[in-house]
Structure 1
Amino acid sequence: MVYLLVSVIALIAIIIIFLIVKFKLKQVKNLFLTGLLVLILVILFDSNWNEKQIAEGSESSIISQAEYALIKIKDQVKIDAPVIPQLPELPRGCEVTSLAMLLHSAGVEADKMELAEKVKKHPAKREIRDGKIYYGDPHNGFIGDMYSFETPGLGVYHAPIMELAEAYLPGQMVNLTGQTFEELKIPLSDGRPVWVIINTEYRKLEDSYFQTWHTESGEIQITRKEHSVLITGYDKDFVYFNDPLTGKKNKKASIKDFEKSWVQMGSQAITFSAKK
């Protein structure tokens, strides 16, 4: 962006200087000087902003760029990661159970029940007022009852899971949230499974599956089909994953549909860093 602006300024400056010299246009001269000052300020602002963005870049982005150069993305992968069922103890505990599988893959013996106890909980209670649902934001903690379907609840998103994982692998967790599905293949190609949020259909859901919640963060769209699994591999047609709900190892789904489901749920993913 900066280089483009410099080139444009140089071209405009040459043209205007020519007009000033040839026709001695005082007004053009004043306009030129004012415009040049504004453009210089724009360049300085843009340059500083870019430097700030680089300095404040997420750990996941930096790591991914480095790993692109070090890890060759394979055409197909299938990791032998341990599978842990969430049932019967944790009907809504797919997220912490998938985390348990991820930590086991990293060599950390973390019990799903211990993780269920330690994960940050959201204190909000479900209320219906004027036909609107008021509840908590799963980005800020686990919503509702994890141990039973008899009382209200939903689940939790990646931020509290990432925070909990850091307690077991300090400085080694990698937040892949917001990156492309293709970038998830980097750790997978290196033998590291990836924790994700998707839905139980493993496809992009219609709008009818979602409802609006009014939370402390504002309005958010929630689906009761929210789910978490541990991706263990992929090939040209399928993605493979350990499913805590069924207890099935290397379960498969259409990779195209799975990707759309993942993106619809906010492209949430975490893994652990490569061993040095």
Structure 2
Amino acid sequence: MKEKLRFRLGGLLLLLAALSACGATAVIPQDAATGETASASSRMSYILPEEDISADVWPVLSVLQQTAETSIWLPFGAQLEVENIDQNPELPNGCEITSAAIVLQYLGFPVDKVTLAEEYLPTHSPYWEADPNVEFMGNPADELAFYCLPGAVVTAVNAYLEELGSGYQALDISGAPVEELYQWVANGTPVLVWTTRAFSDPLYNYTFQLPNGSWPYSNSHCLVLTGYDTETCYLADPMQEISEVDRDRFALCYEERGSYAVVIAEE
């Protein structure tokens, strides 16, 4: 029994080495990658065509099935050609709606950041009475304003897309593990992510409280995840302060900020 297990684990290491060598660059369909009933062999077949897999590998896949039933198979790296947009000078506090414009333009929609902010984004003044998940706290064109969370961005983007009769929609995927963000990127969809400016430590404003009783951030920021590899995440930053960050730091700041994220995808 020990010899059989040693053979299977050795085979697993050989399989992983082979995948590392070939780069595992296939894009994995979401249903196949995360379905609870999908077998390890069916998930792996999206990385390597079935006819190219030796019969000796399938016992190794059974080990994967027992130990990683819901694992997500990803390429080791992906990079989307997303053009950045500077939020300044028109929207000094408009990182969220500018990030939405970045993704919409990547998808081929010709809307600009100011139009989205002025015509579609729900706002509320005074900012200290606003609910950031429903509306922007103040006006993103003002120097003295705060931020919004996914709910307000989803409202703005979907109002714009509905007006066009588009088949796309904004989706609030907040709470998704960071690996799911990478999966969206690997499948061609950049992700709006909430973090802090330049991935710095959180700073808070203690002059007022939000409706849920928490203190508002004074360095909240939204930017677009456009790529990743084994060590680095790549970004389109409306503040144009940062274009890449250590992958561990990205994950930490994303989770500490509340795991807020939005994608714009076809229905």
Alignment of structure 1 residues 1-16 onto 2, 5 Å: none
Query: What displacement does 1:264 show?
Result: 1.5
Output one character per residue of 1:166-214: Cα deviation in whole Å (capped at 9) or x when no partner.
12345633321111001111110011100111111314x25xx224543
User: How far did 1:90 drift?
Assistant: 0.9
Partner of 1:238: 232
- Counterpart of 1:246 in 2: which secondary structure? coil
Query: Alignment RMSD, CA only?
Result: 2.4
1 CA distance for matches of 2:92 and 2:195? 16
Equivalent in the alignment of 2:125: 123
Aligned partner (choices 189, 193, 196) of residue 196 of structure 1: 193
Please, which of 241, 259, 270 is the counterpart of residue 262 of structure 2?
Answer: 270
Paired residues of 1:64 and 1:183 also in contact (CA < 8 A): no
Amino acid of the residue matched to residue 91 of structure 1? P
Sequence identity, in percent?
Answer: 25
Deviations 1:227-275 (A, max 9, x none): 1111100111111000111177xx1011111111111221111112258
Q: What secondary structure is seen at the aligned counterpart in 1 of 2:213? A: strand
Query: What SS does the aligned partner of 2:215 have?
Result: strand
Distance in 2 of aligned mates of 1:109 and 1:167: 15
CA distance in 1, matches of 2:31, 2:126: 39
SS at match of 1:84: coil
Report the equivalent of 1:138. 132
**1:102 shift after superposition:** 0.8
Match in the other structure for 1:46: none
Residue 152 (structure 2) pairs with residue 160 (structure 1)? yes
Residues 163, 125 of structure 1: alpha-carbon distance in 2 compared, 3 angstrom cutoff: closer
Q: What amino acid maps onto 1:142 in structure 2?
A: F
Change in Cα spacing, 1:125 to 1:100, as seen in structure 2 (3 Å) is closer
Q: Quote how far apart the aligned CAs of 1:137 are.
A: 2.5
Aligned to 1:81: 82
Conservation of the 8 A alpha-carbon contact between 1:90 and 1:148: yes
User: Is the alpha carbon distance of 1:121 and 1:237 closer, same or farther for their aligned partners in structure 2, counting shifts above 3 Å?
Assistant: same
> Which one has the largest radius of gyration?
1
What is the distance in 1 between the residues matched to 2:134 and 2:266?
Answer: 28
Q: Secondary structure at the match of 2:115?
A: helix
The TM-score with structure 2 as length reference comes to 0.67
- SS class of match (1:184): helix
Whichever residue aligns with residue 247 of structure 2, its letter is I
SS in 2 for 1:139: coil
User: What residue is the counterpart of 2:110 in the other structure?
Assistant: 109
Question: How far off is 1:73 after superposition?
Answer: 1.8
CA pair 195-124 structure 1, distance change in 2 beyond 3 A? same
Task: Please report the TM-score for the alignment, with normalisation by the length of structure 1.
Answer: 0.65
- Shift of the 186–169 alpha-carbon distance from structure 1 to 2, 3 Å rule, reads farther
How far has the Cα of 1:158 moved from its partner? Answer: 0.7
